[in-house]
Amino acid sequence: MTFIVGALLIVVAIQAAILVALLIRGKRRASAERALRESDERFRRTLDRAPVMIWTVRPDTTLDFVNNTCMNFTGLPIEKLLDNGWLDAVHPDDREYCLGIYVPAIEARTAVLMEYRLRRADGAYRWIFDSAVPKYALDGHFEGYIGCSIDITERRNAEDLMRESRAALEVSHREIQQLAGRLLTAHEDERRHLARELHDDLTQRLARLAIDAGRMESAADAPEGVRPLREGLVRLSEDVHALSYRLHPSVLDDLGLVEALKAECDRVARGGELRVEVKASAVPAALPAEVSLCLFRVAQEALRNAARHAHASAVTVLLAPSGKGLQLAVSDNGSGFDPDRPRERASLGLASMRERVRLLQGEFDIESTPGRGTNVVAWVPA
């Protein structure tokens, strides 16, 4: 009997312990559920206070939550936005675009990134940027998407203004380049015209005057000042001829680029202590006039810079075919310079060389190092 009573007491004690444990567990569960509800409520309040529009999507792509910011922005109640109602606020021209990105991304479980226009509460359409990522439960199953939307209208307007400014700048740049090309062409035409006038007219008239002065000088009763007059006329004729050559060398038109380069190099070498060597190989005899003039002017300017600014003692001029064009290289052993260093004054000579080559769709480059000379390279199609 004592054994039975003891056993009953043990059973009662066990049942009481189980009951107490159940009561404690229930209390804990209720407390946990209350804490979870409070946490959810705090999270929802946080979402509603967020300065961006936040929303969630079911796995079937329909909207199941929006925060207060969404409703305040659109001026629509939540029931008008849930499911597919949000599409009614999207600009009609952007709805197909949105669905074309939104639906396939959700079906593929990839990030959603899109820009579109959304109607604001005041009726104005604003540019919106959407960003959303898939969300998963603790057990790994797909629960839909969570995303946010921000108003990027000001950014889009700034980008549009920047694009318009860039386009206007490009148009202006092209117009300036075209003007520069026309100015160069007009300048060369005028130089050629003046050179012809000086060579064919003025120098001939000066030569006749010099001949007449020589005849007067040989006469028995020649005035005393005739000889200095004749010599002055001869020098003036030579100066005018040299001026005509500098304006436009007739040898370029008469004998071609190679001979014109040789003549120019000889002229530069005669003017000082500069040694100039010309190497030309396999250069076509017949070249377009604009190609010959371009390369001649580049060489002329490079030689002038080597003599006046670089104080070089030797210059090599190379001319040869390269690819589908002709390449000129003028190298000197002068003082050189740093091409990347800003200059106090822009070099009109360098700008002229670059522009001449650019007009022919060619390539131009200057390689130079202080104390180690300069190499000017120009390539033009021919």
Mean pLDDT, the chain, rounded, equals 80
Q: How confident is the model at residue 363 (pLDDT cuts 50, 70, 90)?
A: very high
3-state SS, 113-176, equals EEEEEEECCCCCEEEEEEEEEEEECCCCCEEEEEEEEEECHHHHHHHHHHHHHHHHHHHHHHHH
Q: How confident is the model at residue 235 (pLDDT cuts 50, 70, 90)?
A: confident
Residue 298: what pLDDT? 92
C-alpha closest to that of 356 among 279, 301, 319: 301
Residue 125: what pLDDT? 95
Mean pLDDT of 210-218: 75
Instruction: Say if CB 47 and CB 67 are below 8 A apart.
Output: yes
Span 300-331, pLDDT tens digits = 889 888 888 888 889 999 999 998 899 999 99
3-state SS, the chain, equals CHHHHHHHHHHHHHHHHHHHHHHHHHHHHHHHHHHHHHHHHHHHHHHHHCCCEEEEECCCCCEEEECHHHHHHHCCCHHHHCECHHHHHECHHHHHHHHHHHHHHHHHCCCEEEEEEEECCCCCEEEEEEEEEEEECCCCCEEEEEEEEEECHHHHHHHHHHHHHHHHHHHHHHHHHHHHHHHHHHHHHHHHHHHHHHHHHHHHHHHHHHHHHHHHHHCCCCCCCHHHHHHHHHHHHHHHHHHHHHHCCHHHHHHCHHHHHHHHHHHHHHCCCCEEEEEECCCCCCCCHHHHHHHHHHHHHHHHHHHHCCCCCEEEEEEEEECCEEEEEEEECCCCCCCCCCCCCCCHHHHHHHHHHHHCCCEEEEEECCCCCEEEEEEEEC
Higher pLDDT, 190 or 366: 366
Q: How far apart are CA 277 and CA 303, in angstroms?
A: 11
Residue 256: what pLDDT? 87
Residue labelled with tokens 């226009």: 117
Half-sphere exposure of 268 (CA within 13 A, CB side): 28
φ and ψ at residue 125, rounded to 5 degrees? -90, 135
**Cβ-proximal residues to 95 (8 Å cutoff; 6+ apart), any chain:** 87
Mean pLDDT of 109-126: 93
Span 30-89, pLDDT tens digits = 555 565 455 556 656 666 677 889 888 899 889 998 998 999 999 999 899 999 899 999
Span 124-176, pLDDT tens digits = 999 999 999 998 988 888 999 999 999 999 998 898 888 888 888 887 777 76
Residue 205: what pLDDT? 77
Is residue 8 scored above 60 in pLDDT? Answer: no
Mean pLDDT of 190-207: 69
User: Is the model's pTM score more than 0.75?
Assistant: no
Residue 318: what pLDDT? 93
Higher pLDDT, 127 or 107: 127
Residue 94: what pLDDT? 94
**Cβ-proximal residues to 55 (8 Å cutoff; 6+ apart), any chain:** 63, 65, 66, 67, 70, 86, 146, 147, 148, 149
% of the chain at pLDDT higher than 70: 76
Higher pLDDT, 14 or 264: 264
Higher pLDDT, 213 or 304: 304
Residue 88: what pLDDT? 92
Least confident of 10-19, 157-166, 250-259: 10-19
Q: How far apart are CA 243 and CA 199, in angstroms?
A: 9
Beta bridge partner(s), residue 129: 115, 150
